[in-house]
């Protein structure tokens, strides 16, 4: 199962982050229109992601309380576009999150500049573990410094948990 190190922050604007990413030469992968449908599962998070017409089922497990948000994840991509209807017959839907995501890559890190319906603007980092966790943590910290982020203000929840108020 692949692993990455994650950070999510609420931001007032993406302007400064885009400027820095452009200065760094980060690869701009374009804009993604995403609809995430979260299903009730006994542990971890399971969501169907509909992204620019493509569908993927994503399972991830992460300890939201630990100092570092390491996330183990699996992704199954579908070749048909019936997954939403199919899974709604099998699983209870907990939440639906719609967002526009501007995606950048830098040093094996996905940088997401998200505009989430009803929630506002966020940015996320997902640094992929490729040469061990120590290497990933070093690259992660470097990007945090380059983007001038305040790690202490990170949000330790998925978007699902933010859109469901008073979830315990």
pLDDT digits (tens, 9 = 90+) for 146-155: 999 999 899 9
Query: Of 153, 151, 130, which Cα lies nearest the Cα of 142?
Result: 151
Q: Answer whether 136's CB lies under 8 Å from 60's CB.
A: no
DSSP state letter for 26: -
- pLDDT tier at 124, thresholds 50, 70, 90: very high
Q: What percent of the chain has pLDDT over 70?
A: 98
CA–chain centroid gap for 146, Å, is 20
Statement: the pTM of the whole predicted model exceeds 0.85: yes
CATH code of the domain containing 132: 2.40.320.10
User: What Å distances lie between residue 123 and 16, 76, 117, CA to CA?
Assistant: 12, 24, 14
- Whether 168 is covered by a domain: the verdict is no
Task: Say yes or no to pLDDT of 168 above 70.
Answer: no
Per the structure, the complete domain to which residue 104 belongs is given by: 3-163
pLDDT single digits (tens) 34-86: 999 999 999 999 999 999 989 999 999 987 777 788 999 999 998 877 888 88
Task: Say yes or no to pLDDT of 9 above 90.
Answer: yes
Q: Which two tokens mark 127?
A: 């640094």
- Whether 115 is covered by a domain: the verdict is yes
- Rounded-to-integer distance, Cα 168 and Cα 161, Å: 9
Q: Answer whether 44's CB lies under 8 Å from 78's CB.
A: no
- Whether 71 is covered by a domain: the verdict is yes
User: What Å distances lie between residue 73 and 45, 109, 124, 161, CA to CA?
Assistant: 9, 15, 16, 18
Q: Give the number of C-alpha atoms closer than 13 A to the C-alpha of residue 145, restricted to the C-beta side.
A: 6
- Whether 146 is covered by a domain: the verdict is yes
Q: How many domains does the chain contain in total?
A: 1
- Whether 141 is covered by a domain: the verdict is yes
Place of tokens 């992968």: 29
Name residues whose C-beta falls within 8 Å of residue 57's C-beta, 6 or more positions apart in sequence. 46, 47, 48, 49, 75, 76, 78, 83, 87
* Max mean pLDDT range (55-69, 84-98, 102-116, 153-167): 102-116
């Amino acid at each position: 199962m692949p692993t990455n190190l994650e950070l999510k922050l609420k931001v007032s604007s993406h302007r400064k982050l885009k400027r820095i990413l452009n200065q760094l030469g980060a690869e701009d992968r374009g804009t993604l229109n995403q609809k995430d449908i979260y299903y009730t599962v006994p542990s971890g998070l399971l969501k169907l992601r509909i992204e620019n017409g493509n569908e993927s089922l994503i399972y991830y497990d992460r300890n939201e309380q630990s100092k570092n948000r390491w996330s183990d994840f699996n992704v199954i991509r579908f070749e048909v576009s019936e997954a939403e209807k199919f899974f709604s017959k099998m699983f209870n839907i907990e939440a639906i999150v719609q967002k526009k995501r501007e995606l950048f890559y830098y040093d094996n890190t996905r940088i997401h500049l998200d505009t989430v319906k009803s929630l506002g603007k966020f940015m996320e980092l997902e640094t992929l573990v490729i040469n061990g966790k120590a290497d990933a943590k070093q690259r992660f910290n470097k990007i945090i410094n380059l983007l001038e982020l305040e790690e202490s203000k990170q949000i330790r929840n998925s978007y699902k948990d933010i859109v469901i108020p008073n979830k315990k």
